[in-house]
Structure 1
Amino acid sequence: MAISEKYGRTYHFPFSPGTTSDDRIQHNYWQYISTIPALIHTEKLDGENNCLSRHGVFARSHVAPTTSPWTETLRRYWQLIKNDLGDLEIFLENVYAIHSIAYKNLDHHFYVFAVRENGQWLSWEETCFYAAMLDLPVVPVIKKLPAPTSQQSFESDLLDIVNGPGAFAAHDAFTGAPATMEGVVTRDAGSYPVSSFAEHVFKYVRKGHVKTDVHWTRNWKRARLNYEGGQYVDYQ
């Protein structure tokens, strides 16, 4: 039995080309997204989904806390804050280990993207508040927008966004060539129940993004920071 509930699968937009055989697609996304008063586009980073809660530091599975070497500094940081978390579950993107994208403009290895508390996903404003309280950055915000009125304009705008390099200067981890961002996550800026997750969060992932295989963990490399020695929780 899992210690806590893991992060749900984010449904792809139907025009997202980077789907795999086990991905889910929200074909009816427009009926949901057009009724959300305020939306946030954030950059989807190429890392590992981690969760900090009073129970420990978790990767994708919440059956048991993670012990991976690329979460070692995060687990040390958790020791300092675990008694202050209460019912908060802090979800963040861990880019400590390089996957398919090597970021050339990183100030930090861990970026908060969501906070859950008692069956509710907190608003983006609350997410930023708790991230700041914990001295952690949030994932890059690309754009804030009101409820869209034109599906064609919404999709066209999103396609323009994903052709950029992103906030952290994305490069292909294997060739070293400049690359476009992995994708975009579009979320409801307000709070919403965990049970309604699929109606409030959507993603676009570029085609051919994943180039690593299940053996990447054997020869993983640490992502370099702009100011080596790091800030916040990375003490190396």
Structure 2
Amino acid sequence: MKHARIAWQGAVRPATVEDDGTLRLADGRAAPAEEVIWLPPVRICTAFALGLNYADHAAELAFKAPEVPLVFLKGPNTFIGHRAATHRPDGVKSMHYECELAVVIGRGGRGIRREHAYEHVAGYTVANDYAIRDYLENWYRPNLRVKNRDGCTPIGPWMVDRDDVPDPMALKLCTRINGQVVQQGTTADMIFDVPFLIEYLSAFMTLSPGDVILTGTPQGLAETRPGDVVETEIESVGCLVNTIVGDEAGHSQTAD
């Protein structure tokens, strides 16, 4: 099942997404998809993000693949929903998309063994974790201006239940800018897979329902410019659409 969160008729509402795209509210009503504001599909608690978790991406940035996970945290201000806009400041030279599988924790715990990791997953969604590389001070530990800007991480459109994605480590990823394919990859190429990451993180801290793990992006980066429509798509999960805006359009709306 696909689970969404939307703002419609003055309220934030959970909805399910039917096979034909109909948004169905808990009371049975259908909400017109063209009239709603899409929000991040879950209320995010702690957001973990992986750097250089694909060897091919590390190589295109001229870095050696990491031997331990490179993890940083993201604030709630960074997340926006499907069909929202992300701001590119005037004057920057390099702003890249990053198509990522996002893992939503459904059952918390500490000391989770990898063989039980999927029991703690609620489902999966798509994230696009933009990076302005002009601001990067350390490739291994992205600073706040790179990864914690308002509205820099669209996520959605919905969360797909865990059991509807039989093997999250064998999914195709694709990014398109204005309809042109600019990135292709597969989650099979992750250096640290989903069970490893859950075991690793829960070894030293308690994971909670609503935590989200952004698992990194494969190679294939290209520039984004104001006016670009960016689609990040993951097989069996969904297609997340986002638009780039410049300074004249102001800053993006952040997550509710």
Higher helix share: 1
Q: TM-score, normalised by structure 1?
A: 0.33
Higher strand share: 2
Q: TM-score, normalised by structure 2?
A: 0.31
